[in-house]
Structure 1
């Protein structure tokens, strides 16, 4: 029964990786990239503010703060076309408008300490904006990851023990 449970967990994990690949665009950035640094800083500020307030009930969701920080770096980037900057400025003009723009935005560590993962999803009407931004990110050294991600360490460990 435990073996069947492990197989079920592994099957679900595989399906989740597939759904994430379909729903999110994933990029690997050099860890010193300005967008990544801004997003990490926004996450740190969110955590500190939530601790000071004793919770996050009155704060904007963290994915909005992270994406707003990324958009602010876009506006400051001299290599970005003005059309993209106008869209970014409109999105961050008011905290009430940003949630109509972005659905998910998460920055996370990678096994390679020199790389950082950005997972982002925008509303369908803003997909062209994200595609244009993705081209700029790739030209600046980011790599877009296609398809489902690899198994994580816990999943690999479970698979090794489930099929022994």
Structure 2
């Protein structure tokens, strides 16, 4: 069984690509890398084709992750047909995705998979802040990625 997860933020240069890279590693560590595919996108297309924000790439690199190949892209409506689970980084993107989605599409907040976070917790956008915001995002993403992997282990096996 193959399962597809798409992580979505605003421009696909900070939060969702960081989450994509972290989730991929955590899935590999849980033995799920061959059965779950992960990608990311933004609800807006103004960064399409651009690399990850340098601050996001730098914090990933300092923690052993490689974000160098990422290129931003915009979420397309027809992707709902191939994604089993669409995860928004915040409520604004969650609402935008739900407006576009066919009925019955599984769309949730990404941090809802972090057992230590409130179910409505968001991954805040670090774009307009300093480097510390990107580190905070990384910690939130790592925590949610572990919970997501545990959830997917139950779903795909």
- More contact order relative to length (CA 8 Å, sep ≥ 6): 1
TM normalised by structure 1 equals 0.23
Q: Which has the higher helix share?
A: 1
Give the structure with higher Rg (CA). 1
TM normalised by structure 2 equals 0.24
